[in-house]
Amino acid sequence: MSIVSPAAVSATATSPTATSPTVAAPVALAARASRLRTSPVRDLLALTADPELISFAGGLPAPELFDAEGLRRSYAEVLIERPREVLQYSTSEGDPALRAVLADRLTRRGLGTEADDLVITSGSQQALALLTAALLDPGDTVVVEEPTYLAALQAFDLAGARVVAVPTDDDGVRPDDLEKIVGQHRPRLLYLVPNFQNPTGRTMSAARRHAVAEIAARRGMWIIEDDPYGELRLSGQPQPWIAGLAAAGDRTVLLGSLSKTMAPGMRLGWLRAPAALRRACVIAKQATDLHTSTVDQAAAARYLTTADPDARIALMCAAYRERLDALLAGLPAALPTGSHWNRPAGGMFVWVRLPAGLDATALLPAALAQRVAYVPGAAFYPGAADPRTLRLSFTTHSPRRVAEGLDRLGAAFADATGRTTGRG
């Protein structure tokens, strides 16, 4: 057997008489990848590693309000009692015990639901991905609120859908405009966040919900009713689910999540859908992750059954109410004169519109220089955006820290614009 030395190999490789190396042809991404937009919210989250930065950007639950001890106990119990089961593969539909307890919670909140009506997903974001796979072909039209949830726009972009926005006001989508747009574009589905909408914090009125249901029934259109914030009500009375209205029950998918009320790191969400669509979503899930984490589902089911999740949610809402009040109290002094904002009845967000001539995206570097962050509103529009808008999240920081962040924001706006704020 002959042995070739490394030196000989090197000489052969570099010899001018050796065969010329192949020039690699460029490789291209799929066409749909070129349509994808980055998420400035996720990009801004990288800044939270700076402990001096006060971020109003990400819609993050307050980590000090997580029931870490209760969750630790739930994980320990299921791992001690049935480790072989909770560490094994599971069904794509989800843990029967978790589906049962979630169905019971929905029923007690006024939406009659059986365990088999639900599919457990890896966060409600995965539910959106499964629904786009089941409902949309490239080129299909989706109608959304203007503005709308950024990650939904990303999901629709990935599916190759055409997104059309319907104008909104403080009560949600405007039915006359929706009727006109649906008649003109014949969309496959309508995507809504009716409760404490992301990014505006608005809640759709009961009258608008009924009108939307009737338009969907008359036009033969699916509705995705995304409700990650519904249990974070800080004032007012609950509005009816669109999924519970007679006109829309057979064409509405309700999405929910434990990320805002339990822990986002567990990545647990669900979808409630009519049987045929639910089966299609299960098949799509089998092609993505087979099933959501078995042990996380088991721990969540145990926690929801043996702990007091409603007391924990009440504790969160009490803290968030104080933080919202602190934000609203400080905005008049922090924002340029002539700014407008809303008072949400729950959720995590306040929507701000600066005076004419200002651009929230252009002003962000000045804010970051003062070590305070927000999300420019332009990211939430599928088409032409209102550059004056921005989103502020109030949940992450204590009232004292909120006030400090608004002082920084006011200084940044005053320095960058040369205009007076409410602080004079």
Q: What is the pLDDT of residue 37?
A: 64
DSSP H or E run through 338: none
Helix (H, G, I), strand (E, B) or coil at 423: coil
Mean local confidence (pLDDT), 156-164: 96
pTM of the entire predicted model: 0.90
Each residue of 28-59: pLDDT tens digit? 777 766 666 666 666 666 666 688 999 999 89
Each residue of 216-251: pLDDT tens digit? 999 999 999 999 999 999 999 999 999 999 999 999
With b meaning 16 or more CB within 10 Å and e meaning fewer, what string describes 35-72?
A: eeeeebbeebeeeeeeeebbbbbbbbbeeebbbeebbe
Q: What is the pLDDT of residue 50?
A: 82
Strand partners, 302: none
pLDDT of 7 higher than 50: no
Residue 20's pLDDT band (cuts 50, 70, 90): low
DSSP-derived letter for residue 269 is E
Please name the residue ranges forming H helices in 287-308: 294-306
C-alpha 36/C-alpha 157 separation (Å) is 6
**Token duo for residue 405:** 């962040």
Using CB atoms within 10 Å of the CB of residue 233, give its burial: 0 to 12 exposed, 13 to 18 middle, 19+ buried.
buried
Please name the residue ranges forming H helices in 171-252: 175-185, 206-219
Q: Could you give the percent of the chain with pLDDT greater than 90?
A: 86
Residues whose CB falls within 8 Å of the CB of residue 211, separated by 6 or more in sequence, listed in order: 175, 178
Mean local confidence (pLDDT), 131-145: 97
Q: What is the pLDDT of residue 23?
A: 74
Q: Which residue bears the tokens 């995507």?
A: 191
